[in-house]
Amino acid sequence: MASNQQAGPGIGNLAKDTTNGRIGVVMAMIGGRVQLRPINGGTEWDAKPDKVVALRARDELSARLAIRNGNSRTGL
C-alpha cells in the first residue's frame, strides 16, 4: 500500500457509510464490498469501500452512549 493511502476501518470497528449516513460495525469485506451491521443489531448492508469511513473518537463515543442509553431503557 502506498504511503498516501489510508486503509479503511477494520473488522469489528465502528464506521460510517457516507452514502446514507448510517453507522455500523464492520462485519466483513466480501466481493469488493464492506458489510456493516447496525450497532444495536439487525440486518447487515453492503457499502462501497470508498464510502466507508472510520468514526472520529467523538462520534464513536456518541454512538456507544446512544446504545448504552437505549439498553438502560429496555432493561438490558
Q: Does domain 14-74 have CATH number 2.50.20?
A: no
Domain spans of the chain, in order of start: 14-74
- When comparing pLDDT for 32 and 2, which is higher? 32
The dihedral built from the CA positions of residue 10, 16, 20 and 26, taken in this order, carries a sign that is positive
> What are the CA-CA distances from residue 33 to residues 45, 53, 56, 69 (Å)?
10, 13, 22, 31
Q: Would you state the pLDDT for residue 12? A: 92
The cell 429496555 sits on which residue? 74
pLDDT, one tens digit per residue, over 23-74 is 999 999 999 999 999 988 899 999 999 999 998 889 888 888 888 887 787 7
pLDDT of residue 76 exceeding 70: no
